[in-house]
Amino acid sequence: MKDRAWIEIDLDALDNNVKILTQTMSHRSKMMAVVKADAYGHGAKIVAAHLEKIGVTAFAVATIDEGISLRSSGIRSEILILGYTDPIRIQELYDHDLTQTLVSPDHAKALARNDLPIKAHMKIDTGMHRLGFDWKDIQAIRDCFTLPGLKLTGIYSHLCVSDSLSARDQEFSLIQTQRFTRLLKKLCAEGFPLPKAHIQSSYGLLNHPQIKCDYVRIGIALYGVHSSSGLRTILRPKLRPVLSLRSKVVLTRQIAKGETIGYGRTFATARNTTIAVISIGYADGLPRSLSNTSSYVLINGHPAPIIGRICMDQLTVDITDIPNVTPGTTVTLIGKDADRSIRAEEMAKQAGTITNELLSRLGERLEVYPNSQ
């Protein structure tokens, strides 16, 4: 029930983004939809079910528990776990038909000691220096192809500065791509059967569309937003935001000129002011750092400035100049209201973060509703 604060998901916008991004990809590539962190706060079960319905057949999550959750909700397509899974959970990997990333030679050997044939993608560290086999360690990579108990169905890397168009970062992305490509060619020349290969994420596609691999891992772009406000990309497909964040007015009240509002008395009214209390706060994932900035919400198509400190489960706004605001009136914090809108990039910038973090945090506590409900 939409009685306090909630997230709305526009499935038509999701359809639009899948169609446009698929057209942008190489004809040999397939989309791997990244639905980790509850689909970046959009509701992984809802998003994955809809994507599978319209033809997406590969998904990526961060953890084994995210993968099990998708399987339990009825997702039958490939599910790749991008992060580490302890080998003691190998039975669960097998039972739920999950594909595990091999994050190091030792991790691969530990998984291979079991009798269960686990599907796996080998990750190659081409310069990010996080997870993966060192791209120069050819022998360890060769050995992984022959480990018993592992069914190697993929090999991949990750571009760490693909969102940047600076000459220096573009050069480094090229270096990473060349390292990955040379490794694949060497393995092929030595007679190893190459599994599905992938190196592009959202910005890998938008800034390096010339790369041609079997999969493109689409995360933030799938949801119609950029990681940061004003971020430029070489390709600029017309993506549509999928998520809206809404709440309700709890009450309205009159505050005299010169009175203070909220914890710390950080805001004083400069005139006789009508305020509204809104039922959402930082425990719901809304950044407390939006307090006492130029941030606002939309009510009846009008901007209502956030005033005072954002509390754990509520906030206050100035509605002096907005007509017809009563308890129960819907409030838009991200999304469209009449002819005005607030983008997630705008809120993230005000909060000093990126949309990836902002949206993921919002989805931790709030109910998610597709636009069909």
pLDDT tens across 155-197, in order? 999 999 999 999 999 999 999 999 999 999 999 999 999 999 9
Q: What stretch(es) of the chain map to CATH 2.40.37.10?
A: 243-342
pLDDT at 372 over 60: no
Per-residue pLDDT, averaged over 269-289, amounts to 97
Query: Is 243-342 assigned to CATH 2.40.37.10?
Result: yes
Active site residue 45: no
pLDDT at 373 over 70: no
Check the CA dihedral 168-171-176-177 and report its sign.
positive
Q: What stretch(es) of the chain map to CATH 3.20.20.10?
A: 11-223
Name the DSSP letter for residue 39: H
Residue 330: strand, helix, or coil: strand
Per-residue pLDDT, averaged over 238-245, amounts to 97
Picking from 349, 363, 360, 229, the residue whose alpha carbon sits closest to that of residue 290 is 349
Instruction: Count how many residues are written for the chain.
Output: 373
pLDDT at 209 over 80: yes
Could you tell me the pLDDT band of residue 368, with boundaries at 50, 70 and 90?
very high
* pLDDT score, position 363: 80
Active site residue 263: yes
- Selected catalytic residue, list 30, 36, 123, 248: 36
pTM for this model (two decimals): 0.96
Rounded CA-CA distance 306/294 in Å is: 7
Locate tokens 């206050």: which residue?
A: 316
Record: fold of 11-223 = TIM Barrel (3.20.20)
Rounded CA-CA distance 329/325 in Å is: 6
With contact defined as beta carbons under 8 Å apart, do 108 and 155 qualify? no
With contact defined as beta carbons under 8 Å apart, do 89 and 63 qualify? no
With contact defined as beta carbons under 8 Å apart, do 363 and 37 qualify? yes
Rounded CA-CA distance 225/217 in Å is: 15
Picking from 90, 183, 172, the residue whose alpha carbon sits closest to that of residue 132 is 183
